[in-house]
C-alpha cells in the first residue's frame, strides 16, 4: 500500500550523515555493557539492568552478542532462513523491532530486513571496530546490540538498506492463525 511505502521511505536512515541528533561518532570499543544506561542521543534507555542481572537472564552467547557487541556465526542462526510471519522482538527486553514482511533473503548468513518496525525502535552508532566504517544497530529500549545496517548493496528492496541482525538478539512472535 502507499502508506507502507511512505512509512518505509520515512524510516530510511542516511548512513553517510548523522542518523540522529546527539550522534556520538566513532565507537571502536563501544559495547552496550560499557556504555551504561544512556542512549547515543542522550536519552535514558527504558530498560536498565546491571550486568549481573543481564548475565543471569541471558545465555552466554546471548550476553556476548547483546551486551558485548559480539556476532554469532553465519548461517547457524535460528531465524536466518525462516519465513514464519510475525514480529521480531529484542531477546533482552521484548521490544518490537522488525516485522517479517520487511525480511528478505540476502544470503549473507544472518537474518536481513530492509526497515525496522518503527523509526524509533532502534538506535545507530558509528562502528570502526574492524578498521572500516559500519553502522551498528541497537535496541532503542535496552541498548542491546542487534547487528549492523548497510546501504547501497544493490538488493531489490524499497529502502536499499540491509539490516543484518543476529538471530540470537531476537525472538519471533508468530502472527496468530486466522480463525
Q: Residues with catalytic annotation?
A: 164
Question: What pLDDT is stored for residue 29 in this prediction?
Answer: 46
Question: What pLDDT is stored for residue 129 in this prediction?
Answer: 78
40/57 Cα distance (integer angstroms)? 24
Percent above pLDDT 90 for the chain: 60
Question: What pLDDT is stored for residue 179 in this prediction?
Answer: 57
**What is the pTM assigned to this prediction?**
0.81
Instruction: Report pLDDT digits (tens) over 57-90.
Output: 999 999 999 999 999 999 999 999 999 999 999 9
Instruction: Report pLDDT digits (tens) over 139-171.
Output: 999 999 999 999 999 998 999 899 999 999 999
Is 90 exceeded by the pLDDT of residue 12?
no
Count Cβ atoms below 10 Å from residue 52 Cβ, excluding itself. Answer: 8
- Residue that has been written with the C-alpha cell 536481513 in this structure: 112
What secondary structure letter does DSSP report for 38?
B
Count Cβ atoms below 10 Å from residue 143 Cβ, excluding itself. Answer: 28
For residues 31 and 145, the answer to whether their CB atoms sit within 8 Å is: yes
Q: Count Cα atoms within 13 angstroms, Cβ side, for 176.
A: 2
Is 90 exceeded by the pLDDT of residue 15?
no
Average pLDDT value over all residues in the chain: 82
Amino acid at each position: 500500500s502507499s502508506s507502507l511505502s511512505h512509512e518505509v521511505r520515512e524510516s530510511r536512515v542516511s548512513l553517510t550523515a548523522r542518523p540522529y541528533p546527539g550522534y556520538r561518532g566513532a565507537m571502536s570499543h563501544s559495547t552496550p555493557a560499557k556504555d551504561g544506561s544512556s542512549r547515543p542521543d542522550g536519552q535514558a534507555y527504558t530498560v536498565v539492568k546491571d550486568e549481573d542481572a543481564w548475565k543471569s537472564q541471558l545465555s552466554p552467547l546471548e550476553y556476548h552478542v547483546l551486551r558485548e557487541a559480539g556476532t554469532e556465526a553465519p548461517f547457524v542462526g535460528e531465524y536466518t532462513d525462516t519465513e514464519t510471519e510475525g514480529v521480531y522482538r529484542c531477546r533482552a527486553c521484548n521490544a518490537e523491532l522488525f516485522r517479517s514482511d520487511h525480511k528478505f533473503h540476502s544470503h549473507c548468513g544472518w537474518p536481513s530486513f530492509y526497515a525496522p518496525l518503527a523509526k524509533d525502535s532502534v538506535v545507530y552508532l558509528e562502528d570502526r571496530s574492524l578498521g572500516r566504517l559500519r553502522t551498528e544497530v541497537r535496541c532503542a529500549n535496552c541498548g542491546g546490540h542487534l547487528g549492523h545496517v548497510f546501504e547501497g548493496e544493490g538488493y531489490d528492496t524499497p529502502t536499499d538498506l540491509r539490516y543484518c541482525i543476529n538471530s540470537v538478539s531476537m525472538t519471533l512472535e508468530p502472527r496468530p492463525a486466522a480463525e
